[in-house]
Amino acid sequence: MLAVAALAPGCAPNDDRARPVAGQQAPQTSPARALAAYAARLRAAHAARVAAAKRWGLRRVPLTAPPPPAEKPRIGTRAGFEVDDHRERDLPPVFTTVPTRHKVVFLTIDDGAEKDPAFLRMMSELRIPYSAFLSDYLVRKDYGYFERMQRLGVTLNNHTLRHPYLPALSYARQKREICGMQDVIERRYGKRPVLFRPPYGNYDQDTLRAAKACGIRYAPLWNEEVFADRWEYREWDRELRPGDIVLSHFRGRGDWEGTMRDMARRFLDKVTAEGYAVARLEDYL
């Protein structure tokens, strides 16, 4: 009877111990519950990626990239890619690979001609990061498409106003091309880029001087290029390396034997099969 009497107050419907006292904090979630909730979120996220991979026709579920490095790697210009007085003038580094020990690669997409809404859905559902390098003469046909892309977390970078062969232009004209695109992206999308890719990958000292004057800090090129129907390589051994930058383009059936979704499938199937995850380039700079 004493035991029952002792337990009875804890069972009463009006027991004040079941509610926080005024001025006191409510009990915190236990570490075990927090861990279980975190594990449940991870399982749900993985299940969503498995379903998305199946829905978009991938052979395997894409690998998840490690967290971005707390200490960013030092980015220098690749040997043989320097211009005169590159270091002395502190010009933006030109590079094709980011120094990293992790098996990650970076997808970058140029120009802006093709504006496929299904591609946006695909990459969003698969949670694949990529970086866009845009030219205004193509983007202006649908600024809203790239605004939707930006809302999905894609950084919009500079690829000049009209996509000219820059070394054929004077310094002043190169600066107009680069600074002009800086202005367009800032006006339309609210942020001035710090990444610039010269059209065709061609540049000279004036290009990099103009880019620096326009606020550019980095000039990434690429080590591989992926199309809807094939890959192309800069290196003789035709192999991916940790930190490689991969180029593609906003193109469709008018230019390719396939769609941007076909390109994304070809890209993801290869990098996943070789044990690589796709990371966000800007997170490493």
Q: Nearest 5°: phi and psi at 16?
A: -70, -20
Tens-place pLDDT, residues 18-66: 455 555 555 566 888 877 878 888 788 888 889 999 999 999 999 999 9
Instruction: Assess if residue 93 is contained within a domain.
Output: yes
> Is residue 259 a part of any domain in this protein?
yes
Q: Which pLDDT tens digit goes with each residue over 268-282?
A: 999 999 999 999 999
Measure the CA–CA gap between 252 and 229, rounded to whole angstroms.
Answer: 12
* CA 49 to each of CA 46, 62, 110, 123: distance values in angstroms, whole numbers, following the listed order: 5, 8, 26, 11
Q: In the numeric block, which tokens belong to residue 106?
A: 């970076």
- Confirm whether 19 is domain-assigned: no
* 11 falls within a domain: no
- On whether residue 12 sits in a domain, the answer given is no
Round to whole Å and give the CA distance between 210 and 200.
17
Which stretches of 24-142 are DSSP H helices? Answer: 31-55, 117-126, 136-139
User: 60, 92, 102, 95: which is closest to 81 by C-alpha?
Assistant: 95
Confidence of residue 260 (pLDDT cuts 50, 70, 90): very high
Residue range 214-249, pLDDT digits in tens: 999 999 999 999 999 999 999 999 999 999 999 999
- Total count of domains within the chain: 1
Domain assignment present for residue 14? The answer is: no
Asked, for residue 10, whether it belongs to a domain, the answer is no
pLDDT category of residue 4 using cuts at 50, 70 and 90: very low
Q: What percent of the chain has pLDDT over 70?
A: 90
Q: Which residues of 84-107 are buried (b: 16+ CB within 10 A; e: fewer)?
A: eebeeeebbbbbbbbebebbbbbb
**Contact criterion met (CB below 8 Å) for 164 and 136:** no
28 within some domain: no
Q: Answer yes or no: are the C-beta atoms of 197 and 249 closer than 8 Å.
A: no
Q: Residue 199 belongs to a domain with what CATH number?
A: 3.20.20.370
Q: What is the pLDDT of residue 137?
A: 98
Lookup: tokens for 83: 């211009």
The domain of 262 spans 63-284
